[in-house]
Amino acid sequence: MDHQMSGHDHAQMQEPSIEEMEIRGWKKKMIWAWIFTIPIAILMLGERLLGFELFPEKVMPIIILALAFPVIFITGWQTIRGGLRGLFTFYFNMDSLIALGTLIAYFSGLLHIFFKNGDYSGVSAMIMAIFVTGKYIETKARGQATQEIKKLLELGAKKARLLQGKIEVEVDISELKIGDIMIIKPGEKIPTDGIVVRGESAVDESMISGESLPVEKGKGSAVIGATLNQDGILYVKATKIGSDTFLAHIINLVEEAQGTKIPIQKLADKVTSIFVPTILIIATLTFIAWLYLTGDINRSLGVGISVLVIACPCALGLAVPIALMVGSGMGAKRGILIRKGEAIQTMKEVRIFVFDKTGTITKGKPEVTNIHSKVKENYLLDIAASLETLSEHPIAHAIVSRANLKKYRKVTNFNIVRGKGVMGKIGSKDIVIGNRSLMTDKNIKYDDLDQKIRGFESEGKTIMIIAENKKALGIIAVADAIKEDSAQAINILNQLGYKIFMLTGDNELTARAIAFQVGIKNVIANVLPEDKAKKVEELQKYGMVAFVGDGINDAPALKQANVGIAMGSGTDIAIEAGDIVLVKGSLRGAIAALNLSKATFKKIKQNLFWAFGYNVIMIPLAMAGILNPVFAEVAMALSSISVITNANLLRRIRV
């Protein structure tokens, strides 16, 4: 996969993402803010509460101003600039109050040097330090960066082996041209999309299709870049390169589907946009009223700053992210990783659950489900496993795993019949294991087993017929087994009244058989990987959709859904594309995520109530002149602590 694909550069992709840089940035600011603020707090508390002075009265204001300067104008510069811009553009936000409150408080310290008015410069540093801490918590709670594009780019092959004349030449992937003949040996990735011109092999396309069984490829078969060649050499003519490939197309779908989701702060932001200008007007009117009534500019300024400080919506800023942090921490301990904070709010509004089949409802690898034998079952498994142990096919692995033999019989003349089965000799006996087609080719009659075979096939199972010396001995049915708790989880969702769909690239028969076993009535089968996101989009017309998947082919659908739930047992790209990741790969986690979402959102609403309630009570006290700015600052800190404490009560809730 070259860097021209989708315009991404490999070197660039190794750098930290914007979200990671933002988290690091706020953390750095928070540490520096407290390095300068803690000495200010010690000096102020020592002087005002304990009555001792470390420095002379004339020097003290200068030291505090010097210590507060980096906190306000370096660590807090982004906030100051944003807040002042808001005042001029009339787009008010939380930064507007912080900027105004801290600047007025800071400059009161400068004025104190000349006019001996009240000095609130130390308070300004405390306000900013608490605010920066809140911002760090908020950015961290939004979840670490999504790196799905990086993961996708890493899936592609870096080199290609080309046939030029009669010699093999290894070139960088970026040098590939349409029409080049690529040689892909067993175990290698296919460099780009193409058509097989020579050779036969099975190709593992699970990272693209999510389907567990490899796909047989021969002359004329289409292959997809980044899929894995298994047991034969393929000569492939490149038909698409760079941004035209299937993998590049999937990347584009993921990028397009990264639209904005319901912002969890919408309510708080809406209220803040009205709240901030109202407070500015109240603070100004309070200052004018006090100045008019008392004629004391010191007192009037103190009261005005108190109103701004007490109204500073730090608790409001913390209300949402702190509850998210606690909720996501609880989730992590239970194997539910909340990667996007928005999912907490959106999850509780979900009405439709859409499940991928392979690797989500099922285990994603074939297992022996049934054995029907006309001889002793042990004998049937013995000869079947002895032959199949020589094959690399997943069905062969399933049979060998079920037999669990300590010693295998000696097999001679072993032969793989591609797409049909295997043959060999055990002693003097000719053994043939395979599908109906292989039995017909070898003139082996299996009429007496036909009814049983049809029954298993109607359940979506793959059938292997075992024959010895032209006589059918029995059948082994293999299927992608359902996870133990899938039916239980889906049953709970059914009882809760959710509408449930299964979305799969598999055929209708197999899909219906699996859906019936787990209690899903709505099945959408034969869906191409690139169409999964479209199907989710269609369902979104009827309500909020949660999509649960595990493969690279699910990434666009996980992004398109209102909430993408990725199975932790799946591919890296699916995990990176999910808003919520179920580490244990169990659907029970989806129920726990639902309960956690409801409990966390309840705490968020409580926090917002307390944050607003605190302002409703405290602002009149500040206006009345009862609260000194220092105590207003302490009260503001206490309101933030109460919000944090309430969020931590979430830990007691069972999900």
Instruction: Tell me the catalytic residues.
Output: 356
Q: What is the DSSP string of 547-564?
A: EEE-SGGGHHHHHHSSEE
Provide the 3-class DSSP secondary structure of residue 371. strand
Place of tokens 């800023």: 317
Provide the 3-class DSSP secondary structure of residue 18. helix
What whole-number distance in Å separates Cα of residue 106 and Cα of residue 123?
8
Q: What is the DSSP string of 77-145?
A: HHHHHHHHHHHHHT---HHHHHHHHHHHHHHHHHHHHHH-----HHHHHHHHHHHHHHHHHHHHHT-SP
Place of tokens 């292989």: 438
Q: Which amino acid is at 384?
A: A
| 472-491 core/surface letters (b: 16 or more CB in 10 A; e: else) | bbbbbbbbbbbbeebbebbe
Name the region of 443 (left: φ>0; alpha: ψ -120 to 50; beta: rest): left
- Answer for the pair 188, 220: CB distance below 8 angstroms, yes or no: no
- Answer for the pair 344, 321: CB distance below 8 angstroms, yes or no: no
Half-sphere exposure in the Cβ direction for 200 (13 Å, CA): 6
- Answer for the pair 402, 381: CB distance below 8 angstroms, yes or no: yes
Cα-based distances in Å from 567 to 572, 594, 652: 10, 15, 26
* Neighbour-count burial of 83, counting CB atoms closer than 10 A to its CB (0-12 exposed, 13-18 middle, 19+ buried): buried
Half-sphere exposure in the Cβ direction for 654 (13 Å, CA): 0
- Answer for the pair 139, 323: CB distance below 8 angstroms, yes or no: no
Positive or negative, the CA dihedral 575, 581, 584, 588 is negative
Please state, as a whole number, how many other Cβ atoms lie within 10 Å of the Cβ of residue 56: 7
What whole-number distance in Å separates Cα of residue 556 and Cα of residue 553?
7
- Expressed in angstroms, the distance from the first to the final Cα of the chain is 43
| Two structure tokens written together for 647 | 């969020």
| Two structure tokens written together for 401 | 């795993």
Q: Which amino acid is at 230?
A: Q
- Answer for the pair 131, 636: CB distance below 8 angstroms, yes or no: no
What whole-number distance in Å separates Cα of residue 126 and Cα of residue 612?
21
Please state, as a whole number, how many other Cβ atoms lie within 10 Å of the Cβ of residue 465: 21
